[in-house]
Structure 1
Amino acid sequence: RQQIREGWHLEDEPTVPVEAPADDVVALVTTRAHLEFDRAALAYEQLPPVERAAQLADIDSAVADIDEQLSACRIRGTLVPDADIAPKRVRSTRRRADAVDLPKLPVQAKTVGRVYRGKDGKTHRPSTLLTLTLDSHGPVHSARRRGSWVAPCECGRLHAEFDPLIGTPVDPASYDYRRAALDAIHFAKVLDRFWQNLRRAAGWNVQYAGAVELQKRFAPHAHFAVRGTVPRALMRQVAAATYHQVWW
């Protein structure tokens, strides 16, 4: 909600102000750069190994001291390595041989959706309401309502709204419990990869806000308000290809 309140109405890309470094920070970084130059220059100087090692140790000690001072300053990034930081996660680039080839465009640094001009000359910047739902794992008991009319369940009965059977499998023997469990476990991964693929396929930094909820069959699904529009055919293609690839 906060994201929608602050940014949904914007027509131009927000500019994030960059804080200029203080003079003492510039001085420390400059000194560190000179020390790195001196360390590299040692490789070309004809010095005895003992003397070279002593000078290298002095330079490393000075660099470590500067890094410690910089860690207390207002700077972006991390200069002093932290042993507690987890190693960088490397994603696999392997793909299924039968995976769909999605469009891959350079992602533009924009979040504002496409502008449409009507016949009356007015401009519109519509948004999208997107629901991502998992496929069926088998028929379940349901109370399908069409206004005041209730359709019979696949079992042939009419279920009340709070019937405990609603959402449970009609035939437990044929229901795919394994895929239902794996879909629930990997749902967050599927959503994460869906937005990555959609941004690459659409060619711009698609923004969204949404929520995940459980259906009566206990399968998760998600509702998203998407800022801007993406062709429906492309969304369906990305959803199918993402599910196909992540499941593998």
Structure 2
Amino acid sequence: MPGGGCIVSVADGASTPVRPDPDPSDPAARRDLLALDARLRALSELDRDVFHVATAPGFTRWLEQIHSIGGCAQPVYLSGHTTRVDAATGEILSAYSTAGEPGERLAVRCGNRRARRCPTCSRLYQGDTFYLVRAGLSGGKGLPDSVAGHTRLFVTLTAPSFGRVHRATSDGRACRPQRRTAICPHGRTTNCQAIHDPDDALVGSPLCPACYDYTGQVLWHAHAGRLWNRFTDQTRRAVATAAGLPRSRLREHVIVSFAKVAEYQKRGAVHFHAVVRLDGPDGPASAPPAWASALLLEHCVRHAAAAVWVEAPPSAAYGDVVLRWGEQLDVRPIGAFPDGQALRDDAVAGYVAKYVTKSAELAGAVDYPITSAGEIAHLAVSGHVRALIGMCWRLGGLAELEHLRLRAWAHMLGYGGHCLTKSVAYSTTYGELRAARAGTARPSCPPAWRSSPMGPGGTWDAATRRVRRCSRVASPRTTPPIARSHGGKWARTGGRDDRKVGAQHVADLARHGLVHGWVGGARRVPRGADRVARLVGAEHGR
């Protein structure tokens, strides 16, 4: 150890305490104990934490918990009990309590998809997304392999232009070359002769911030979900029209399925990457009709992208605004093997999964909610991003835009949609993938916990009634967002990081009204346990 010699031996998950119980009548034993305390004081803080944890009762079980969460950077600690009862007979089928766990708490993964928050859980989320998307392209996970022969397209829909911005070029050309130097109404030039690298801080920032339409971008983000819904509806209408069918009878011949992911550009605007697939009337198990070709689907997609629009709520602050897709539209066929123009299934799935672990930080924004207008001026962000966040805050104060919750989504630059959405028939679900993984849980996880809704594989059914009392135990940097909306006696550990965790397991409990309280700290947990847990978990997760 960096702070001194090794004072704890661990073999096969067992610890050997080195602090003996002194005999009060033995002067030599008392001298040895004092010498041990002197050596401990000479160690570093981390080494002392390791000593206290490794010599505490239940160290073996504690180490199993840390290994079971696979290196989670922000584990969620649960405290409580669950009982599984037969609803008909009242018989207790199983019971589990954290009373027998070290510190009377159980560590579970935070489940955060953001790589900045928890690299380990984000990799797991990324892997689930890869298999979810690939199953809809190649089969597997409950879908037949024949789905690979269906008509499929990879579509990229972009936001419109809100003003000229600096851009990175890969061919050595200037950023914004113009033969004649043009001046905007605010006295700034509208060209840029510099060559920017992709990591240049200027990339994505407007050439003239005063000319940039910040209001239009925020409103577009707030309505991007509605614009996507209208795009999918219009695509189905276009397919029905191209086939000479009424829209109400399209599902009798073909089903149009989608899966899309949102990605932030450097300018802070969201664009969507989507997989569009045509199935037969029975879904993925049936092939589409012969007339449902890739060329027909591409024509319908391009028509739908150009035809749909959304009107923002009228306001005296900005007037009437009509929101549409941008002019840049990329449509490419997906093939099982590369043929020059077609994309491979694995490449598409990997590309989509790449962006689910990222968010507005791609544009240089923050990944936690903004709570006050005064906080915006002190954010460590660029002036462009600060202007977008400030516009979200100002527009969020308008009564006609209150339903958009722009202030709540200011850290996302006004976009409040999920990173990935899909139609029901496209593929499997995250829940099914997690349930399959929970079936192979480690033996160290108690069976009653694995089968409980508190655990990762829990399900609800009519024949079983489960009675739970659960509270979330504080761990560093964790306070659930649900604490402010589901009541109970909640306490915060302080600091901005308390708002940053996405704890899916606890959120599921809260939705059913099962989380009833907050314990402000761990009970009977050795000093420094959380810090050592992060160290051990990081080594295990490599």
TM-score, normalising length: structure 2: 0.23
Q: What TM-score results when the alignment is normalised by the length of structure 1?
A: 0.48
